[in-house]
Amino acid sequence: MPVGIFWSSSLSTAVCKKAVTALSFRSSPSVPCASCFSVLAFPTAFRAPRLQHLFLPTLLFTIRFSVPTNPIFPPSFRSLCAMSLPRMSETLQVKRLSQHAVLPVRGSEWAAGYDLASAEDTVVPAKGKALVKTDLSIAIPPNTYARIAPRSGLAWKKHIDVGAGVVDYDYRGPVGVVLFNHGTEDFGVSRGDRVAQLILERISMAAVVEVEEGGELPETKRGQGGFGSTGVRHQGQLAEREEGGNGEGKRMRVVEGATSVPTGAQLLLMLKEVADSGEDKDWIKSLKPLALAGDTRMYAAWGAYQCNKDMSDLKETLRLITPSEQ
């Protein structure tokens, strides 16, 4: 027989009603019901004046009502359970392989990665690479893999990057960090230096299913569009029109304003078009560094010109960026 326990400051009717409401179930038609459900209330302070002399402070009473053997809990009860029950904690198990190994630690409470430190002194040559030993072996939680990622400070200040950074769930060997030095000077690593960070990421262990000859993959809007295909934006619609004679019932596709993300070369071609229209070439030359640098104002001018094809409006916009010296 299931039993529910409630603690209350009084034994009023309202408390009993709340207890029953909190544990109300609805049954599937095909599921038989259990015989009863007991609720035990242990009051901490009994405030019924006329009954104080009859009961001890640890009064017990039972409410009986039918519940299904396979109950369907209401959303409010499921939310209560989710908040009150502790989550199963996950652990990253780490084994030191030498006395110089440093346990991974997070730099802050909410940091995504665990800092990995070198267990030895080494040098990463300029424009070269080196394997840095941590003298650690790890066991990560199920359904995850460990990604070894670069540290932002080393990447920005010392041109140090990380490669080959995948540690599988079933790997139990020593963890090494492959460092690439893209700088022009050798990079020295001392024992205990933090050289990378280890991030745990969820993965899907999906089974491989071959599409037999003659079969097709599920269709998508993108289809076979490859490199750079998502940089092109098409705004189009299907329009139907009725025409007399041969044109009746035909469908036509109207594509409006097909544009793409501009490159530096496209911005330079736009400036050449402005120069060919008779503008001062020195002024156009002063705009070229902005085009090469990817100035956002140049992108805005290019986008507007692609839509309206108004050369005078384009020139006016460019003069706002760099005034003409004419």
Instruction: CATH number of the domain at 133, please.
Output: 2.70.40.10
Structural domain count, the chain: 2
Based on the fold, state whether residues 197 and 102 are members of the same structural domain: yes
Based on the fold, state whether residues 110 and 196 are members of the same structural domain: yes
**pLDDT value of residue 117:** 97
Q: In tens digits, what is the pLDDT along the chain, a chain of 326 residues?
A: 444 444 444 444 444 444 444 444 444 444 444 444 444 444 444 444 444 444 444 444 455 555 555 555 555 554 554 444 444 578 999 999 999 999 999 999 899 999 999 999 999 999 999 999 999 999 999 999 999 999 989 999 999 999 988 999 999 999 999 999 999 999 999 999 999 999 999 999 899 999 988 888 888 888 776 665 555 444 444 444 444 444 444 444 444 444 455 677 888 888 888 888 888 888 888 888 888 887 888 888 888 888 888 888 888 888 888 765 44
Choose the final residue of a domain: 202, 221, 255. Answer: 202
Would 218 be classed as within a structural domain?
no
Q: What torsion, rounded to 10 degrees, do the Cα atoms 40, 46, 49, 53 define? A: 80
Would 243 be classed as within a structural domain?
no
Would 236 be classed as within a structural domain?
no
Based on the fold, state whether residues 107 and 179 are members of the same structural domain: yes
Based on the fold, state whether residues 101 and 186 are members of the same structural domain: yes
**pLDDT value of residue 181:** 95
Choose the final residue of a domain: 202, 224, 244. Answer: 202
| Residue 325 phi, psi dihedral angles, 5° rounding | -100, 15
**pLDDT value of residue 235:** 43
Would 39 be classed as within a structural domain?
no
Would 26 be classed as within a structural domain?
no
**pLDDT value of residue 2:** 44
Based on the fold, state whether residues 193 and 275 are members of the same structural domain: no
Would 277 be classed as within a structural domain?
yes
Choose the final residue of a domain: 179, 202, 225. Answer: 202
**pLDDT value of residue 190:** 97
Would 297 be classed as within a structural domain?
yes
Would 115 be classed as within a structural domain?
yes
**pLDDT value of residue 230:** 59
The whole-model pTM stands at 0.46
Q: Give long-range contacts, CB 8 A cutoff, 24+ apart: 252-260.
A: 257/306, 257/307, 258/232, 258/233, 258/234, 259/232, 259/233, 259/303, 259/306, 259/307, 260/231, 260/232, 260/233
**pLDDT value of residue 325:** 46
Q: Is 37 exposed, middle or buried (0-12, 13-18, 19+ CB in 10 A)?
A: buried
Domain range for 271 is: 264-321
